[in-house]
Amino acid sequence: MFFILLISLFLYGCTKESVDPTNAKDLKISIDYAFPVISGDMTPKGSSTSYLNFYNKYIVGKILTPKTYNINFVNLENNYQWGISGLWGAHDLISVPPGKYRIFGDSRAVEDCSDVCSFTFSDTIIISSVTVTLTLKARYACSLLLLDTTNIGRTQFSSTHPNPLVITKGMMKTEDLYHSFISDQVNSSGVYSNYSIDLWIASRPTLGADFGTGMSISITGQKWQPGKYYYIENTGNGYIVPPMTGN
């Protein structure tokens, strides 16, 4: 059950009759989401205990996930459309008439290099008179970048983008891993064609503007695939992002 911050109603095209999405026939249902289980995505695989622990605690546990959502419903019988925005876990119900719908929307982090992941929704659903909970299929709209904390003093993002909110200050440290979620917007054509994002990895603790001894990795220079996770490897001469991790 979730608190709905905003409900906006939009009528697209011509309908045979007026449809009131708040009439007495509406169903009061809760809304939630579930992550996909597809080969090659951010699901547990391989022998990395650190990653398995990270995945189960922070992704499955919905700790490092966005707090807000924006979802649109399109009734496929009359093309009536409305949108809802809200907070996950706010314990209120939404009102939806029974029917067949196309739904689309997202739940995103504020930054393009963020401590939390982002995902989108796109599906066709049927809401019947017995529907109690609507569980949306979440599709990752980001990649996960991981770095072992051993011998790492500090990480620092920098960007030539005029908006300072596109990145966090550095990778977030959780137990024995540094991590950052890289938005699919970094790969979008044209979004960063004139800007760059770089990650500095320092091999010793640093203070203030002193980045210390380390190496830089170009974030915008990589080919990120949404739903994939990547380990940064120390080659001895520098750091590299190896090819996509898979099964």
Beta bridge partners of 28: 95
Asked if residue 92 has pLDDT above 80, the reply is no
Rounded to an integer, what distance in angstroms lies between the CA atom of residue 57 and that of residue 161? 33
Question: 159-198 as b/e, with b when 16 or more CB fall inside 10 Å?
Answer: bebeeeebbbebbbebeebbbbbbbbebbeeebbeeeebb
Is there a contact between 148 and 175 (Cβ–Cβ < 8 Å)?
no
CA separation, residue 56 to residues 141, 168, 197, 232, 240 (Å) = 19, 23, 29, 20, 26
Separation CA 4–CA 65 (nearest Å): 18
Q: What is the pLDDT of residue 212?
A: 57
> Per this entry, what is the length of the chain?
247
Please check whether residue 35 is in contact with residue 107, taking contact to mean a CB–CB distance below 8 angstroms: no
pLDDT recorded at residue 37:
59
Distance separating alpha carbons of residues 130 and 191, to the nearest angstrom: 44
* φ, ψ of residue 145 in degrees (nearest 5): -105, 125
Pairwise pLDDT comparison (50 vs 222), residue with the higher score? 222
CATH topology of domain 4-12+20-140: Immunoglobulin-like (2.60.40)
The pLDDT value recorded for residue 94 is: 86
Instruction: Name the pLDDT band for 139 (thresholds 50, 70, 90).
Output: very high
Give me the chain's average pLDDT, please: 79
pLDDT of residue 3: 31
Domain locations along the chain: 4-12+20-140, 142-233
Alpha helix (H) residue ranges in the chain: 49-54
189 pairs with which residues across the strands?
A: none
Structure confidence at residue 48 (pLDDT): 61
CA distance readout (Å), 106 to 33, 141, 195, 234? 11, 9, 25, 35
Q: What is the pLDDT of residues 143-160, one digit of tens each?
A: 999 988 887 888 989 888
Q: Give the pLDDT score at 153.
A: 82
Determine contact, residues 214/133, Cβ cutoff 8 Å.
no
